[in-house]
Amino acid sequence: MLNLQRLEIFLAVVTAGSFTGAAATLGLTKAVVSFNVKQLENETGVALLTRSTRRLALTDSGERFYERCRILLQDAESVLDDVRRDHGGLSGQLRITSTPEYGARVVVPALAAFAALHPQLRIQHVASSHHDDLISGRFDLAIRLGQLADSSHHAATLGSFGILPVASPAFLRRHGDIGNLQQLAQAKWIAHSRLPWPVSWPVTSPQGEQTAFRVTTPPVVTADNASSLLAFALHGNGVALLPDWLVQPETDAGRLRHLLPDHRFPPQGIFALYPNTRHVPEKVRRFIDHLRAQ
């Protein structure tokens, strides 16, 4: 009979593209991963992978076997979910990724409470400023912020938040106060490196009219995470557009100023992304509901 754990290792190798990557994902040694794939090929009697010094590739037989194994493991997970649901508890592993900042403030506290409700469930949270691929990263769920790009994954909307242009009082003393959108567009900007430039936003005026706000001057500072952008803003390097949940303590304390507070930048979404499979695991459904409630 086929060993389901061995099939899972094989899928991890294909997804990662290497034995080393699969070993890191699964928390196993490279030798264990290689042994299990070799045993699987011995059991099936066919070569599933072609190996070279640079890469792994599926054979024709391996391609067909991979697709069938993926469906088989999803069905196996579905059976286990049904049993666990009848029993009333969740078990196995829930692997989630989010940005470090939103993770620390929202996702991790929600995960901690969820873990207390389901003591047999193993929780793994990966904080990353990059949008890691759900399949290759073997994530059950990713929490994404902002505008959601087209994706083959399912997405559940959890809520929204505002984005605020902010600058330090020291920066404003050196470069002058900012009293309108034109002055804001001409300011020295701190920007996320993933943000396309020049940047354009539809901004709502105090009268409720939408105005196209456009910044064409390249930013003076870029960074790949919100914490760094916040730190640069606090040190007076320029204007940054940051989430309200991140900058509210700084504006309340007077360390940053909310610029043009009577203008509204477009709200950003909070989404739970999960792989597009025939069966959505019960642990994913329940945690999405839990996060919404939180």
pLDDT per residue as tens digits for the range 253-264: 999 999 999 999
**Given this model, what pLDDT does residue 255 score?**
97
pLDDT reported for residue 12: 86
**Residue 21: predicted pLDDT:** 83
**Element containing residue 234 per DSSP (H, E):** helix 226-234
Q: What is the pLDDT of residue 8?
A: 87
User: Looking at residue 197, what is its pLDDT?
Assistant: 82
Whole-number pLDDT of residue 243: 96
Q: At what angle do helices 4-16 and 19-26 cross, to 10 degrees?
A: 120
pLDDT digits (tens, 9 = 90+) for 138-159: 788 999 998 776 566 778 899 9
Taking each helix axis as running N to C, give the angle between helix 30-44 and helix 4-16, from 0 to 180 degrees, rounded to the nearest 10. 110
Which pLDDT score, from 0 to 100, does residue 253 have? 97
Segments of the chain with pLDDT less than 50: none
In this prediction, residue 81 carries a pLDDT of 65
Provide the 3-class DSSP secondary structure of residue 37.
helix
State both tokens at 199: 């940047």
Residue pointed to by tokens 């940054």: 240
Q: Is pTM, for the whole model, over 0.75? A: no
Q: Which helix (H) or strand (E) holds 122?
A: strand 121-127
Query: Which two three-digit tokens encode residue 158?
Result: 């959890």
Predicted pLDDT of residue 24: 82
Q: 246 to each of 119, 125, 187, 225, how far by Cα in Å?
A: 31, 20, 22, 12
